[in-house]
Structures are given as C-alpha cells and as structure tokens.
Amino acid sequence: MDLFLQYLANGIVVGSSYVLVAVGLTLIFGILGIVNFAHGEFYMLGGFAGIGLATVLGLPLIVSLLGVVAFAALLGFLAEQILNRQVKDKDPTNSIVSSFGLAVVLQNAALLVIGPQPMLLRTDLSMVPVEIGPVYLPLQRALIPVAMIVLVGALHLLLRYTWVGMSLRAMAQQPTVARMCGIRVSRVAIVTFMTGAVFAGVAGFLMSSVFMVHPLIGNMIVLKAFTVVILGGMGSVTGAAAAGLMLGIVESMTSAYLGNGLRDIVGFLMVVIVLLAWPQGIFGRKLERS
C-alpha cells in the first residue's frame, strides 16, 4: 500500500504537467479552432529559459518563474502572428502546416543556440524533503501540483468573472455573434495564444527538475497533450484537467506494475477506448464554428 501511494503521488506530479500543457492547447483550439503542433516547443523553450535564468544567471526561483512567464507570453504573441493572423482568412489547413513548420524552426533554433546536450534544473529545493505519511517527494516536485492548481484556478476565475474571460467564452461558443457584439477578435486571439504558451512554458520550467530538457522533447510532450485533449474532449478545460491527472496516474501505475516500456502505449490505448465509447471525449461537446 505504501508503494501504491508513492506511485500515485508520482503520477499526480507528472499528470499536473500534462494538465498545464493540455489546458493551453485546448484553450487555443476551443476558442480559435487552431490545432497547434508547435505547442510542445513552448514547453521545451520554457524549460530551457527557466534553467538559464535559475542556473546560469543564478536568479531566485520565483524571479525565474516570472521570467519564464514573460518569455512564454512573447512566444505566444509571435506564434499568434504566424499561425492565426497571417492565415486566418485562408484555408484552415494552412495553420496546421504552419504550426508544423514553426515546431521545426524552434527545434532547430534550440539545437543551434543551446545545443543537443540535455539539461536538468537543480536547486536547493530538491534537497528539502516533503513527507506525507508514507509518501516522499522533494519540495521542488511537491510544488508542481500546487502550481497547477493555482494556475488552473486563476484561469477559471478569469474565464468566469472577467470581461476578458467572457469575450473568450463568447468566441468559443459563437464566433460570428461575438464579432457582431463588438468583441475585438484580434485581441482575443492574442490573449488566447499568450495564455496557452504561458501554461506550456511554466509546465516546462516546473518539470525541468524532473525530466531532462532537450530540443526534441516537444515532440513527445505535444503527443501527450493531444492524448489528454482527446480524452477530455477538444475544447474542454475541465476535461483537459481531469484527463491530464488521469493519464499521469495511469502511466505511473503502468511503469510500476507492468514495466516502463508499456508506459506510452497505455495512453494511446486509452484514447482508442474512450473514442469508441465517447467520440467527443469524456467532457467534450461538438463544436459548431462559423
């Protein structure tokens, strides 16, 4: 039982990172209808930026986190200019092809500037133990679920109780009516991309103390994010949060009891099973866009 609880805690830590990346991805799709295959690169660059600020420059973790937020927001702004503003009135598949191209550009830019050597964030927090009964986690890892809850909670409050949030929800539900009501579509698109990029970048920074960061890590991360989004339902923030935690826990249990080689296979099997039972995902709904 003690080992089970430890594996459960490990799964929640990893699942929290899946939640952050997938929430950003589903937000962009749900509001703008854009499938962003470069989303994993936001995670990768957020990890590298955080390591550089915290390790190379020696900044405190909270300052490094704020730096990652600013850097990721800038990435999101630039990505919106490329993937949405320049191609939004043309063939919808153009944004998909453009996102593939952006992913390749960012990967190769990271290889040229940073190099292929994997990096890991090491701080004093990794030496501080957190013990809850039989469960042991370094403080640096224990803070990841806390950060996820804070960020997703803040997003919920933003979407529910602010004018910006109402604009985002209006665009997600009825884009044409939202435009007729005077909502600035271009401004909504920028906020959406910046928010999605910030969530992915922060996830990369937080998880850089758990997994090595390298220029190609975005490939696997974006696959995980799409797995979570499909499980939870395209466009559903609640579904992304629930499915992200579920996937992290299932992967942890699979590694513990069945072997690490089956870890990634189980996630894709879950997608097949869920789509057979719920074609729109567990929390999904059919999106009507015009």
pLDDT tens digit sequence for 72-99: 999 999 999 888 876 666 666 777 888 8
Task: Please tell me the least confidently modeled range out of 7-11, 192-196, 230-234.
Answer: 230-234
Handedness of CA 250, 251, 256, 257 (dihedral sign): positive
Contact between residue 56 and residue 117 where contact means Cβ atoms under 8 Å apart: no
CB atoms within 10 A of CB 212: 13
- The rounded distance, in Å, linking the Cα atoms of 21 and 24 is 5
Confidence of residue 184 (pLDDT cuts 50, 70, 90): confident
Where does residue 164 fall: left (phi above 0), alpha (psi -120 to 50 degrees), or beta otherwise?
Answer: alpha
Which residue is listed with tokens 């923030």? 237
How high is the pLDDT of residue 91?
66
pTM of the entire structure? Answer: 0.89
Structure-token pair, residue 105 = 């550009």
Confidence of residue 166 (pLDDT cuts 50, 70, 90): confident
How high is the pLDDT of residue 288?
43
Query: Whole-number mean pLDDT of the chain?
Result: 86
- Say yes or no to pLDDT of 170 above 70: yes
More confident residue, 41 or 33: 41
Nearest CA-CA partner of 138 in 8, 4, 1, 9: 9
- The rounded distance, in Å, linking the Cα atoms of 173 and 181 is 13
Structure-token pair, residue 231 = 């499980």
Using alpha carbons, list the distances in angstroms from residue 280 to 42, 162, 202, 223, 230: 26, 28, 28, 18, 8
Nearest CA-CA partner of 262 in 251, 277, 248: 251
CB atoms within 10 A of CB 178: 21
- The rounded distance, in Å, linking the Cα atoms of 225 and 27 is 12
Using alpha carbons, list the distances in angstroms from residue 135 to 6, 12, 129, 142, 252: 5, 12, 10, 11, 14
Structure-token pair, residue 224 = 């995980």
